[in-house]
Amino acid sequence: MNRADLENMAQREQERQQGFRCRLLCCASTPCLSSGGTAVADALQDEIARRELNAEVQVVSTGCMGPCSRGPVVTVQRQGEPDLLYENVTPDAARRIVQQHVQGGEPVQEHLLPLDIPFFTKQHKVVLSNSGLIDPERLEDYVARGGYSALAFALREMTPEEVCAEIIRSGLRGRGGAGYPTGLKWDLVRKAPGARKFVVANGDEGDPGAYMDRTLMESDPHRVLEGMAIAGYAVGAEQGYIYVRGEYPIAAKRLERAIRAAERRGLLGSRILDSNFNFRIDVRIGAGAFVCGEETALMASIMGRRGQPVPRPPYPAQRGLWGMPTLINNVETLGNVAPIITHGADWFAGIGTEKSKGTKIFALAGKVATTGLIEVPMGITLREIVFDIGGGIPDGGTFKAAQTGGPSGGCIPAQFLDTPVDYESLRALGSIMGSGGLIVMDDRSCMVDVAKFFMEFCMDESCGKCVPCRVGTVEMYELLRRITDGSATPADLATLEELCVMVQETSLCGLGQSAPNPVLSTLRYFRDEYEAHIRERRCPAGVCSLDQVPVLEWPDRLHAQALAGNGSISGEVN
Amino acid sequence: MAARPTAKRSPRRDDGGEHPSGDPRFKLIDRTLKRFQYQQDALIEVLHTAQEAFGFLEEDLLIYVARQLKLPLSWVYGVATFYHFFSLKPQGEHTCIVCMGTACYVKRAAEIVASLQAEFGVEPGQTTPDGKLSVATARCLGSCGLAPVIVVDGEVLGRETPETTLSRLKALLDTSQPEPMAG
C-alpha cells in the first residue's frame, strides 16, 4: 500500500458510510457494556432487521463517548441532520428509537441527552477525536477519518530529525504523570548509539480511578499504533511493544486485531507505505503489578522477569530493553502524535497554557453528578471540571477535595477550585497531574481514611526491592490504621510525618518516592481531621469507627486528659 | 544474566511437544512456547496461557514451564508469585471480585467486602471450604462511572450495594446446587 492507496481507501469508506441514510453508533466500551450495552445493540439490530432497514441503516459498535454514568449511550447520525445522543438506553427504548426516530424522524425525547450542555461544550477533543465515532475493530473507519495520513506524511516529507523537532516545538509533555518534554526524550533516543532501538507504549494504567489509557486503546487502537510507528521512525526503532494491563482484556484483544489489520495492509511491518521503514509492534500483557507502570520495572516485565525497578541513570533512552536505547511513552502521549503531525506544532501549541500545551484526558469519578471520560484543554480550572462538566455534587453534598494522580498524587481542597489545571499548578499544590484520575470527594469522605486507602495500596504494590518502600509503607499504613481506629497518640502523628519525608527521599523508584504524597497533602490541608481523630477521638466525616482505645505509655492522669481532648498533652509527653 | 534474549532456539524434538501425562491442555502451553520460539523472555506470556488452560498454576505446571524454557524453577516461581494475576491455588466454582479502586472505595465498596465476609466467612483472596465461591478484590477495573463495581463470573456489574451483591450471589450459588460437582 502507498499513499495514494491510503487516500483511495479513505474515500471508498467515506462513500460507503454516506450510502447509509442513518447510522446508529452504540457505545461498546466496558462501562456501557456492563450497564447493558450488548442488549441495546442487539435490540437495535433486531428491530432494523424486522423493519427491513438493513440497506439504509447501519449499526456500529464504537468506543467510549464520554458520559459513562449515563450509559448505555447511543448516537444517531441521520444524513443532513445534527447528531443526537441518547442516554440510559434500554432495549425497549432502542426499539422505539428505530421506530420513532430512524423511521419517523421524530426524536425520542425522554432519553435525549442534549449536546449543548457544558459536559460537551467545555471539552476539546484531540486525542479522543475519533472515540465514539468509529468502529475500533475496523481499520477502514480509522482511515476514513484521516488515519495513517500523519504516518504517510512523516515517512515521505520529513526526516527523523524534523519529526523530533516538530514534537519539541509542539510542547507536548508526557501524559503519564511526570510531564517530561516528549520531543526531548525522542531526540535523546534518536541520538543514542545502539544497534537496535525499541519503542514502548506504556498501557499499564495501575492508578485506581483512572481509565483514560484503557479507553483510548479500546476506542481507537490504531491511533496509538500510528503514534508508535511515527515514534519508531523518528528515533530509528524497528520494534515496538505495547504493554497492556492484564485487567484490560478487551483493549489487548482490539490492539492485537488492529496490529494484524494494519500489517495486512502494509501500514505496519516491512516497508511501510512503500518506504524503507520497517516497524513491528507486539502486545505484551501485564500480570497485575502497579509497579510495572514505572519505566524500568515495565521493561523488566517485558523481558519476562519480576517487575522490579533498577536505579536510573542510565535512563532507558540510553540503556533500556536488552541494553538498547528505548523510548517509553504513555499511551495517551502517543495518541497526541498523529494530530500534531497532521495539524502542525503551532496548532497544538495554541491549545493549553504557556508551559502545558494541548489537552488532557481525565477520568472524572467519585461524588459528581455526571461521571465519565473528559478531554479538556490544559489550564481549565478545577471548578469548571467539577461543577460545569461534572454537574456538581449530587445529593446536596458539598465539595471537599479532588484527588488527582492516584496513589502518587494528592488532594486539592475547595479553596483551590479556581486553580488552572496544569503540571506546575498542581505540583505547587502538592498533587500531580498523574495519568489523569480525578476523584471528587464530598463532606462524607474522611481524608485520613482516604490516605490510609492509598497507603494500603502502596504497601500491597511495593515490589519489595528497596527497604524504605517495603518497610516504610507498612509502617505508615500501620500508623494510619491506628489513627482511624482510634488507638493513635500524638507521637504517632510526628512519626508519620518523619516517615513520609524519609520514604520520599530514600526510595528507589517512583512508587516509593511518591507513596507519601497522599498523606502529605491531606496533612497539609486537612490536619484538623488527623487531630480530631487523635485528640478528640472522633471522625468529622463519620466514616471511621474509632473503637480501639489508645495504648499509652504514660501515666493514667495524662491518659484521662488525652481522652478528654486536652490539647496540652503532646507538650508534656514530648 | 539468564534472561537475556538468546539466539533463536531450535524447538526440541525429544518429546514431540507431547506432555507425558497426555493432558491435552499442555498442548496449549506448547503452542505458546513454540510461538515465542522457547525464548526465556516469553515466560509471562507462557504463564498466562498456562493459567488460562488450568485455572491456576500448580507446582507441576511451573516445573514444566521452567524445564521448557530452561530457566531455574526458583526464577519461574519468583515471577509467578510476584504478579497478582497468577494464582497458585485452585479457584472456586464461582468468583466474585469486588473493585477497590478509589471511586469504588469512596462509594463504600468496603461494606460489600465486609458483608461477603460475614455471609460466607471468606476473606478476600480465599475460597469457601466447599469450593463454591472465591472472593477477591481488584485494584481498579476502570468502570469508575458505575462505582461500586463487582465482577461475578466475568460479568461486570455496577452500582452495587451489599444487599444486591448478597442476593445475587445467593441466587447464583443456589442454582448451581443441584448440578453434580465437577471433578
CATH number at residue A388: 3.10.20.600
Clarify whether residues A187 and A327 are in a common domain.
yes
Q: What is the mean pLDDT of chain A?
A: 90
**pLDDT score of B79 more than 70:** yes
Strand partners, A282: A241
- Residue A574 in any domain: the answer is no
- Please tell me the distance from the alpha carbon of residue B70 to that of residue A241, in angstroms, as a whole number: 24
String of DSSP letters for B52-66: HHHSS--HHHHHHHH
pLDDT at A209 over 90: no
A168/A216 Cα distance (integer angstroms)? 23
Residues A14 and A53 grouped into a single domain: yes
Looking at the fold, whether A504 and A472 belong to one and the same domain comes out as yes
The residue in chain A having the minimum alpha-carbon distance to the alpha carbon of residue B41 is A304
To which residue does cell 457494556 refer?
A33
Assess whether A344 and A397 both reside in one domain: no
Same domain, A342 and A465: no
What is the CA angle A72-A78-A81, rounded to 5? 110
Q: Are A230 and A81 members of one domain?
A: no
Average of per-residue pLDDT across A301-310: 92
- Domain of residue A244, residue span: 147-348
| Structural domain contains residue A136 | no
Please tell me whether B104 is known to bind a ligand. Answer: yes
- Chain B hits for A69, Cβ within 8 Å: 145-146
**pLDDT higher than 80, residue B21:** no
Contact A208, A457 (CB under 8 A): yes
Q: How far is A203 from chain B (nearest CA, A)?
A: 13
Q: Please, which pLDDT band fits residue B177 given cuts at 50, 70 and 90? A: low
Q: Do A304 and B78 touch (CB under 8 A)?
A: no
- A206 and A301 co-located in one domain: yes
Please determine, for residue A58, whether its predicted confidence score (pLDDT) is greater than 70.
yes
pLDDT of residue B176: 63
Residue B8 has pLDDT above 60, yes or no: no
Q: Give B1's pLDDT tier (boundaries 50, 70, 90).
A: very low
- Over residues A208-236, the mean pLDDT reads 93
The residue written with cell numbers 478509589 in the block is B102
Same domain, A32 and A98: yes
Mean pLDDT of A81-95: 90
8 Å CB contact between A26 and A41: yes
> Grid coordinates 446446587 are at which residue?
B177
Task: Classify domain B94-175 by CATH number.
Answer: 3.40.30.10
Residues 6+ apart with CB under 8 A from B20: none
pLDDT of residue A236 exceeding 50 = yes
pLDDT at residue A515 in the model: 94
| CATH label of the domain that carries residue A116 | 3.40.30.10
Q: What is the DSSP string of A103-116?
A: IT----GGGEE-TT
Share of chain A above pLDDT 90, in %: 66
**Where, residue-wise, is CATH 1.10.10 in chain B?**
25-82
Closest partner CB to A34 (pick from B138, B140, B143): B143
Residues A340 and A389 grouped into a single domain = no
Residues A472-479 have a mean pLDDT of 96
A contacts of B68 (beta carbons < 8 Å): none
Query: For the structural domain made of B25-82, what CATH number should be given?
Result: 1.10.10
Q: Which of B45, B57, B88, B139 to mutate to test the interface with A (most CBs of A within 10 A)?
A: B139
The ipTM of this complex is: 0.83
DSSP bridge pairs for B95: B134
CA closest to A68 among chain B residues: B145
Q: Name B136's Cβ contacts closer than 8 Å, sequence gap at least 6.
A: B95, B96, B97, B98, B124, B125
Confidence of residue B102 (pLDDT cuts 50, 70, 90): confident
Q: Which of A53-57, A133-137, A556-560, B70-74 has the lowest mean pLDDT?
A: A556-560
Cα–Cα separations (whole angstroms), residue B100 to A402, A457, B96, B112, B123: 18, 10, 13, 10, 14
Query: Does residue A426 contact residue A432 with C-beta atoms inside 8 Å?
Result: yes
Same domain, A429 and A294: no
pLDDT value, residue A554:
62
- Write out chain A residues lying below 8 Å of B139, CB-based: 206, 208, 247, 288, 290, 457, 461
Last residue of a domain, one of A445, A461, A489: A445
Q: In terms of CA atoms, which chain B residue is nearest residue A322?
A: B4
Q: Which residues of chain B form CATH 3.40.30.10? A: 94-175
Q: Residue A447: its chain B contacts at CB < 8 A? A: none
How many angstroms away from the CA of A494 is the closest CA of chain B? 26
Give me the phi and psi of A555, to 5 degrees please: -65, 160
Does the annotation list B96 as a binding residue?
no
Given pLDDT bands bounded at 50, 70 and 90, which one contains residue B173?
Answer: confident
CB contact under 8 A, B102 and A246: no
A390, burial (CB in 10 Å: exposed 0-12, middle 13-18, buried 19+): buried
Query: pTM of the entire structure?
Result: 0.88
Give the pLDDT score at A16: 92
**Probe site for chain B from A32, A35, A119 (most B CB atoms < 10 A):** A35
Residues A378 and A288 in one domain: no
Q: How many angstroms separate the CA of residue B27 from the nearest CA in chain A?
A: 21
- Count of domains forming chain A: 4
Is the pLDDT at A366 greater than 60, yes or no? Answer: yes
Is A45 part of any domain?
yes
Q: Do A440 and A455 share a structural domain?
A: no
